[in-house]
Amino acid sequence: MKLVWGFAGNSGLDPKGTRDLNLNRQDIPLLARLFNLTADPLETNNIADLHPELVLSMMERIAEIEVTAVPADDPDDAEAGNPNNFGGFWSPGWC
């Protein structure tokens, strides 16, 4: 099973922030997408509403793991890496 959590598409909302919501059963169709990768490898059939207890269980497990997870290193964009500075190619800007 694969759980995808957060608002689908370009909602302008940070999906990481949706984890802090108090999840209840009525939120599952809005925020969760659950796929059986064995039966549906292309992830076309969202089965989250059919298995709300599994979604809740998976979210609880994710919360347990996040307690010990190392935060992502996601620095701000460096303007020095802009492709306009390197003939149209992206660069980290520091080399």
How confident is the prediction along the chain (95 residues), in pLDDT tens digits per residue?
Answer: 999 887 665 554 444 555 555 556 666 667 789 999 999 999 999 999 899 899 889 988 988 988 898 888 877 777 777 788 888 887 766 65
- pLDDT, residue 32, reads 84
The pTM of the full predicted model, rounded to 2 decimals, is 0.59
Distance CA 53, CA 76 (A): 38
Distance CA 51, CA 70 (A): 30
The alpha-helical segments, DSSP class H, found in the chain are 28-31, 52-66
Which H or E element spans position 62?
A: helix 52-66
**How many domains does one find in the chain?**
1
pLDDT at position 79 is 77
Nearest C-alpha neighbor of 2 from the set 88, 94, 39, 69: 39
Tell me which residue range forms the domain holding 93: 1-95
What's the confidence (pLDDT) of residue 88? 82
